[in-house]
Structure 1
Amino acid sequence: MSPTTETLTAERILEATEEVLRRHGPAKATVVDVARALGVSHGSVYRHFRTKAALRAAVTKRWLDRMFETLDVITADESRAPETRLRDWLAALFEAKRRKAGDDPELFATYMVLTRESSEVVDEHLADLTGQLTRIIEAGVASGDFAALDPRTVAVAVFHATGRFHDPGYSRLWERPGAREDFTALVDLLLRGLRAPAA
């Protein structure tokens, strides 16, 4: 089926936008390029996304949300002990970021530009991530595994403490020898600090 005979959806536009960004980069990619890739007029794209900025924010949110969904499965998995959930969540975040940076460096660099433009989208994403961490730490407090007076404050602290392993500004360090060992050592330290003292 050709692009012009398929129903034009927001999802199809976002997929095409991602390809256009990969090909042209954020500085040169235009709505006209996206429309051309879809075989439609740029007005058709604007019916779904009112401005170029709205389209770029939506494609950034889509990229960030892919990671959130995977982490949400870990957060909600009550069959795992809170300590295991926290370790798995941090490891999944690190691995997702490493994969994004390593598998498609051009698109990763493009998204670094887009996330700087879309501060509101990024702020929402960070709030979602720290919300997940808060839920895990609350579960640990409820089970008696963690000692934390304010789980949200602790969640934010854990997120910032592990920033070297998920903040894109550190991506050049993620493939260095010893990076995984450094990550494991940091998580071990954080978990020791979170554990409730033995009765």
Structure 2
Amino acid sequence: MTKLTNTLILDTAAQLVEQHGAADVTLADVGEALGTSRAALYKHFKNKQDLWTSLSLYWLDQVLAVIFPFDTSGYSSQADIAHDWLWALANAKIQTNQNDPQMFKLYTDYIDGNPEVLAIHLQDLTSSLAAALKTDDLIHVQALLQAFTYFTTPAFATDWGEHTRDQFEAIWQLIAPSFETLMK
């Protein structure tokens, strides 16, 4: 028998959600698919809410793997790092929405509808960008994230299209001249 791990449970739950939708998947279904009892799952997740929270964050971590952590080798300026990190974040969400809009909506609706989960996601983003920039100036890191929310917030996904990259670059051009001064 395969050892029951959080990753195995999350992968199995993700497959079931893709096949049947989140509303129709129970802990019993996940346990059955794994050949174990629902009670065995409680050793890893305290309830269905805990599993869905973990599953949503796990899904996001996979979607955003390019920034967790962001490879800064080869960069010579914080501005270039910030630009590319922000575009990597935006592009990952845009591509995921284009390639699998149903799952994108399912997971992002769950995250957006749960303030505690959203706070975890925002903290993860802030920590990743701060680490990439090698700064502890979280006020300016958070301001950067806020400046680009149009390109990363699922509520705007219906507006993302062929001109999104041009719009991103236009906003970056507004920020770029003051970037180095702000990030000291």
Q: TM-score, normalization: structure 1?
A: 0.80
Q: Give the 3 Å change call, closer, same or farther, for CA 7–183 of structure 1 in structure 2.
A: same
1:144-155 aligned at under 5 Å gives the runs 151-155=137-141
Partner of 2:97: 101
Q: How many pairs are equivalent?
A: 181
Partner of 1:77: 72
**CA deviation after TM superposition for structure 1 residue 155, in Å:** 1.6
Q: 1:132 aligns with which of 116, 121, 128?
A: 128
Q: 2:18 aligns with which of 16, 19, 22?
A: 22
- What RMSD, in angstroms, separates the aligned Cα atoms of the two structures? 2.3
Gaps of 5+ in 1: 140-149
- Measure the CA separation in 2 of the matches of 1:21 and 1:106: 11
Partner of 2:9: 13
Q: Give the 3 Å change call, closer, same or farther, for CA 129–79 of structure 1 in structure 2.
A: same
Partner of 1:143: none
Deviations 1:14-37 (A, max 9, x none): 001111111222222211221222
SS of corresponding position for 2:22: coil
Q: TM-score, normalization: structure 2?
A: 0.86
Gaps of 5+ in 2: none
Deviations 1:20-58 (A, max 9, x none): 111222222211221222222222222221211111111
SS of corresponding position for 2:3: coil
Q: Percent identity?
A: 28
- Measure the CA separation in 1 of the matches of 2:113 and 2:4: 26
Structure having the higher Rg = 1
- Work out whether residues 85 and 136 of structure 1, in 8 Å CA contact, stay in contact via their aligned partners in 2: yes
- Work out whether residues 67 and 93 of structure 1, in 8 Å CA contact, stay in contact via their aligned partners in 2: no
SS of corresponding position for 2:138: helix
- Measure the CA separation in 2 of the matches of 1:67 and 1:137: 21
